[in-house]
Structure 1
Amino acid sequence: MLSQSSGSDPNSSRIWGPLCCNCGRATTLVKSLTNENPGRRFFKCVVHGFAKWADEEKPYGWQKVSLLEAKDEMKVLKESLKAMNVSGSTALSHDLVNKPEEEKKKVEIEENKKLESEVMAANEREKMLRQFILLSWGGFIVVIAMILVMAKI
């Protein structure tokens, strides 16, 4: 059973065989979404569009009706998804704009506390780094002094 909607699948050229347009360019296998030929596969040229039908029979009867109903259902679902995305984003921005002042202040206070704790932690790290540098230089000086003393003996 073929369920690919495009000819970019490497298996599609093996199943249907390679086909070139009259202009000599390679074609891709795609699926028609028109009401006259729903779901019917055809070869499409990048430059000229339709090149040749891949299947011999036109869809008819219950298959055609089923495909058209599925196409209409997908269209309705896409539109409702768009509407939900738009209404959801406007509702979020509306809530942010109309938040009471108390909630805004609470959020600012929490953010300030987080920033203060981060600054304190950074200051502690800087203090420890300075101590490490001082100790390492002190150790370096002691080692050099010991080498010089030993060299004199």
Structure 2
Amino acid sequence: MGKTCFRHAYGKYQRDSTPNKEGPPCNCSQPTALTMAWTEENPGRRFYKCDEHGFVVWHDKEKSCRWQKQSLLEARDKILTQAEEIKALTTALRRANAQIAALEVSRSSGSINESLKAIEDHISAHINETQKVVRNLVLYSGGGFAIASVIIIFYMKK
């Protein structure tokens, strides 16, 4: 059976997550849930609460004595402080995990950048080699054409 915390105009209280079948019904005949008050006046004192109408009747007939009240209030404050610390640590952990994930992405993209650079260098070398082949082809073709033209002209003059 889980517990759920709530805030009320009169303070904080905690209630069981399921209505208590043995508790007294509300005036509206709805079942009530056993709830623990965390107010300054009644720390730790249990009562039955209707979801629609609120307080129905006290489960604990007597208020806690002075030292119990003080101990419960101190425990409540310590719990609230620790809950805030847990929340802050959880937030810090989420931020740290996000930073780690960002670093991993940048590291992996660094290797991608290196791979892309290697591919670019390979393509540039291939383009340069192809340009040399084309230049040689044009040069040899032009040279061959010139030699053929000279030979044709030489034979035409004879």
Q: What SS is found at the alignment partner of 1:31?
A: strand
Alpha-carbon spacing, 1:18–1:85, altered in 2? closer, same or farther (3 Å): closer
Between structure 1 and structure 2, the one with the greater Rg is 2
Count, aligned residues? 102
Name the structure with the higher helix share: 1
Alpha-carbon spacing, 1:32–1:84, altered in 2? closer, same or farther (3 Å): same
Considering only aligned residues, what root-mean-square deviation do their CA atoms show, in Å?
Answer: 3.1
* C-alpha contact (below 8 Å) 1:32/1:42 kept by paired residues: yes
Alpha-carbon spacing, 1:18–1:89, altered in 2? closer, same or farther (3 Å): closer
Tell me whether 1:19 sits opposite 2:24 in the alignment: yes
Aligned partner letter, 2:88: A
Give the Å deviation of 1:97: 2.2
Tell me whether 1:50 sits opposite 2:45 in the alignment: no
Cα deviation 1:89-121 (Å, max 9, x = unaligned): 1112123324595565569xxxxxxxxxxxxxx
Cα deviation 1:33-52 (Å, max 9, x = unaligned): 11110110101112101001
Q: What SS is found at the alignment partner of 2:44?
A: coil
Name the structure with the higher strand share: 2
Q: 1:44 & 1:95 partners in 2: Cα distance?
A: 47
**Structure 1, unaligned runs of 5 or more:** 108-153
Give the Å deviation of 1:9: 7.2
* C-alpha contact (below 8 Å) 2:23/2:48 kept by paired residues: no
* C-alpha contact (below 8 Å) 1:43/1:50 kept by paired residues: yes
Tell me whether 1:37 sits opposite 2:42 in the alignment: yes
Cα deviation 1:43-88 (Å, max 9, x = unaligned): 1112101001112211131100110011111111111111111111
Match of 2:69 in 1: 64
Identity level (%): 37
Alpha-carbon spacing, 1:84–1:9, altered in 2? closer, same or farther (3 Å): same
Aligned partner letter, 1:93: A
* C-alpha contact (below 8 Å) 1:8/1:29 kept by paired residues: no
Q: What SS is found at the alignment partner of 1:82?
A: helix
Q: What SS is found at the alignment partner of 1:80?
A: helix
